[in-house]
Structure 1
């Protein structure tokens, strides 16, 4: 028998808190390859000031260490994550949410006909099965090399909704003081043509509705939403606004009692299902629609939104504040790896007739309608200003990389760096997300890919005077350095989030600690700003049931690189602002060449 889902949470090792000296030393190592001599000197002076005995840096670190030792605190990062995710003030739609495009040949998909309502009903039934098992802590804890990983993020999968705030957002969720234990909601919210419906998926006695009942309910939604909602009535548009603006819009709407009830229906729903009335033109179109789509037919603040197209293709859009890719992949794999009939059997689903399906309607005056229409139009422009592209390698994956004697992730990052230099003529800051769920309350660590060894490798590859043996040695050395840094991050020995949390502590508690007005030079230094100003933002999502993983760009010059790297294939979704689209397309072309060149080089000594 599997241990309870959350049994290991309190016994997992704690995230180690580095010393301030160690983090500063690593920070200088990490930013050095990106700086010229003057920038490095300025940064070194700023670090020396941060390390000054009795200075603000020491005060802030001491406060962090005290917090880490406080009873009931699981990790020194416990306040960092809300600040980082809930504190961001720009829009989360396209900027923060991430997506997965499912394969069409999964056991779940193959167990039903390919129609939209059938595919959606299968996903709903599988998700409800997972939810009921999670309520009883029957979801087996994920293990990695025999070690259980933190499962707390699973509590954010159902009935979690991000609530906009003026200064910082909050989260409405079960497993909280306001809502103890699992969600007792029995409904989901379904969108079709901008119309929102409340639909029961669990009966009054706790048994899920049978597959055929759910199909009938979805057909009732489609019939009820035949007429597209007027653009200025779809409240989902508002979830695309910058957070403080959305907070004000929501507060205004909630002055009407009927709207409080409508928000409750959406916010407490187990999850959202967005039914589209079209089939994607191709995989790129499908990924783009998952990432943004028609915001009338979305509610981007829901933690989980399944999107199902008219031809039955499907995917998921995730609000990031409480969920990382590894947790969502485990969830999605559990849904897709079994048949609809198997999920129904384990959940106890049974025929109960047509589930309750009711429209969710907001009372809107002319000002609210104008606000909604403007938000929708603004987001449509924002989405249209994003360029995307797919790069796929059907003949290369982790198996081929291992045959070449190289870490698959290192191979990918070497290829990205080489393609970037060839396409733009420079080496730029590059982010990679590293999972740290082996720790209590663990999430991710920020890894910076550009090492001196990586720069030397790219330098060698673009220099025609360098012989192949030297290039090969440089590639092997860069790959080894990359693996070493990744292991440091996995062990919680990375500087960025530690130093960033000191900046947040000054903002939150500066007055109390007597450092509110003290300017900390580090956070304006060239090393801090240049190292974190991404040219490439990368993240991997390995799952055999996923076709593509996607997220938006993180800055005006950044290329977002979301990739699925499996034994037999490597699929990449690229996103960047349209103003630099040509550079992204050039990067994509050079990436194909870089992969070929790197494979050829490594094959000479594999």
Structure 2
């Protein structure tokens, strides 16, 4: 999903949207629907505003001045640098931003682009490069997952209910009946919803592309009526909408899924589960995809079935041993039972546990959380009723079969082996806090997200003996096509807080004062990021302009700023953190972002706090120590602030 960040999901406070009160949920204006005689849902009361009504009137992402970003960059990287490293970085920043420096020409080029017709944001070219330009595997490295709350249902019943909810949401979206999210009177962009259904990432040699509706080549909503169901490495096309577009009833869908389980009882022949190929590095997968197309004409039809499907459903033939095993399977479970390029893959295990794996290039966590909340927040039979579903007879699964020669079978086998080894080389850990949540932090008069971020820093200091670059994603959906900003967590105030906590001579009052000052600064920086006042993506895009157009602009060499200690060290994550607040999920997770980074995905709710950690196997011992120290830090900080209230 990026060079140094985890999935971007929420602002620093658990309110999920910019401007949210800590712990608040996004405000939505609901619009109930009832079925009509044709099966088309009609609004019981007209929606206040159609789904995409605000898109063209939202404010543009502000373009910072060069001077602003350079000043912020120096302030952000300074706590991580030695005096010598800071001096070197300051010299490079001065040269970059000088009147005759390369930064001025690059900034002018970006400003011209931002003002061009048809450009929605100065980040319009940044996001495709950042997500679609990555060349390593996206499985585990980029995709993220949510583990849903238990539902005490059998596998087929759970899967059918999720399908019904997703189909209902899709039909509401088609008619623009999904109410736009409004946070404190400020509409949020809903553009990403266009990439929930029938969207598929297509591998490319140099850069990937996206096949999706609402595009010039595929105008309007997807007309697809089918999903792809995986079982034991076999793939089946299953219609969930009838010929007239009316959804199949829950009974119909359940019968269709039972038929899939029967047809897929025997796994496919060895080395024929093509889903394994989606775990390859992107250029390798692009070459394999071309080989598939060249191998047999039927393969084009098979790819078309997968790529145009509304979404995937992965039925597993086993029950995970525990919560951590379940999370790991959602993140990088394979056995050929995934198509990691698909925007949404609902995964249901043999015991009815379920979750979702998400391809990240066009979807951030906030959008997917809204979808998940809508699906899980209403009973399946009510989704079915509201969507106008009718009994039409069980849909017949149709096997999706690829014709493979020996070379392609060899690629499938090697991809499967390589990804299995990659998964084994990843260490993970779940850290639940059943007795701590956002309400606890608020009762202690501190921002919940600031509290846990400070706990992460203290735990990291105690686990690794140092502070290190820490990333946190901040949502910027109040802007036109806004996605996220990159926040760097370590501030001078956090340094002083950790030093006070580690100083045996510091008394409780000193430690509390340092904690509150650091928390206040964390909230202030998060608000700046919500307003687009952050340096990293801006300076990164200027670097990309030099790569793309440097010769035409007379800047033939990469500016030295991008080789400075500050740029390298600030972006070399020791912790990559992101939050997903939803009462409908137990855990959220993503892979580590570098060889020494610990990925920290957390669900911080009013009454609980669950963390999923991931890191390369060589860092496993430090990760487990970090988990232990995190438990201690949360208790210690809670006690420290609690003492203040007692006195």
TM-score range, shorter chain: over 0.9
Kept in 2, the 8 Å contact 1:231–1:296? The answer is: no
Residue 185 in structure 1 maps to residue 227 in structure 2: no
Distance 1:542 1:231 in 2: 41
**Pick from 140, 148, 168: which aligns with 1:94?**
140
Distance 2:545 2:217 in 1: 26
Distance 1:286 1:229 in 2: 24
Residue 262 in structure 1 maps to residue 302 in structure 2: yes
Distance 2:272 2:101 in 1: 54
Residue 287 in structure 1 maps to residue 327 in structure 2: yes
Residue 539 in structure 1 maps to residue 552 in structure 2: no
**Pick from 411, 430, 446: which aligns with 2:451?**
411
Q: Aligned runs of 1:171-210 on 2, under 5 Å?
A: 171-210=210-249
**Pick from 238, 253, 262: which aligns with 1:214?**
253
Alpha-carbon shift at residue 244 of structure 1 (Å): 0.8
Residue 67 in structure 1 maps to residue 121 in structure 2: no
Say which SS state the counterpart of residue 522 (structure 1) adopts. Answer: helix
Say which SS state the counterpart of residue 398 (structure 2) adopts. Answer: strand
Residue number in structure 1 paired with 2:6: none
Say which is worse superposed, 45-54 or 344-353, in terms of deviation.
45-54
Residue number in structure 2 paired with 1:437: 477
Distance 2:187 2:335 in 1: 38
Change (3 A) 1:262 1:41: same
Residue number in structure 2 paired with 1:163: 202
**Pick from 149, 159, 177: which aligns with 1:138?**
177
Residue number in structure 1 paired with 2:29: none
**Pick from 90, 93, 106: which aligns with 1:47?**
93
Residue number in structure 1 paired with 2:25: none
What is the TM-score when the length of structure 2 is the normalising length?
0.92
**Pick from 419, 422, 426: which aligns with 2:466?**
426
Residue 512 in structure 1 maps to residue 552 in structure 2: yes
Alpha-carbon shift at residue 240 of structure 1 (Å): 0.6
Alpha-carbon shift at residue 295 of structure 1 (Å): 4.3
Distance 1:129 1:349 in 2: 9
The count of aligned residue pairs is 598
Say which SS state the counterpart of residue 16 (structure 1) adopts. Answer: coil
Alpha-carbon shift at residue 514 of structure 1 (Å): 2.7
Residue 128 in structure 1 maps to residue 167 in structure 2: yes
Q: Aligned runs of 1:307-318 on 2, under 5 Å?
A: 307-318=347-358
Distance 1:219 1:419 in 2: 48
Residue number in structure 2 paired with 1:599: 638
Kept in 1, the 8 Å contact 2:232–2:335? The answer is: no
Residue number in structure 2 paired with 1:386: 426
Change (3 A) 1:230 1:503: farther
Say which is worse superposed, 330-339 or 36-45, in terms of deviation.
36-45
Residue number in structure 2 paired with 1:569: 608
Q: Aligned runs of 1:538-557 on 2, under 5 Å?
A: 538-557=577-596
Say which SS state the counterpart of residue 251 (structure 1) adopts. Answer: helix
Say which is worse superposed, 424-433 or 55-64, in terms of deviation.
55-64
Distance 1:43 1:588 in 2: 34
Distance 2:75 2:643 in 1: 32
Residue number in structure 2 paired with 1:465: 505
Kept in 2, the 8 Å contact 1:160–1:173? The answer is: yes
**Pick from 346, 366, 374: which aligns with 2:386?**
346
Alpha-carbon shift at residue 369 of structure 1 (Å): 0.2
Residue number in structure 1 paired with 2:28: none
Distance 2:358 2:326 in 1: 16
CA offsets 1:494-528 (integer angstroms, 9 cap, x no match): 0000001111112222233232x223111111100
- Note the residue ranges of structure 1 that are not aligned, 5 or more in a row: none
Residue number in structure 2 paired with 1:498: 538
Residue number in structure 1 paired with 2:486: 446
CA offsets 1:411-456 (integer angstroms, 9 cap, x no match): 0100000000001100000000000000000000000000000011
Say which SS state the counterpart of residue 11 (structure 1) adopts. Answer: coil
Residue number in structure 2 paired with 1:76: 122
CA offsets 1:288-319 (integer angstroms, 9 cap, x no match): 00001124000000000000000111000000
Residue 229 in structure 1 maps to residue 268 in structure 2: yes
Distance 1:50 1:356 in 2: 63
Alpha-carbon shift at residue 145 of structure 1 (Å): 1.5
- Note the residue ranges of structure 2 that are not aligned, 5 or more in a row: 1-46
Distance 1:271 1:19 in 2: 42
Distance 1:559 1:519 in 2: 30
Alpha-carbon shift at residue 345 of structure 1 (Å): 1.2
Alpha-carbon shift at residue 54 of structure 1 (Å): 3.1
**Pick from 310, 322, 329: which aligns with 2:369?**
329
Distance 2:513 2:268 in 1: 61
CA offsets 1:269-306 (integer angstroms, 9 cap, x no match): 00000000011111111000000112400000000000
CA offsets 1:249-280 (integer angstroms, 9 cap, x no match): 11111112111111000000000000000111
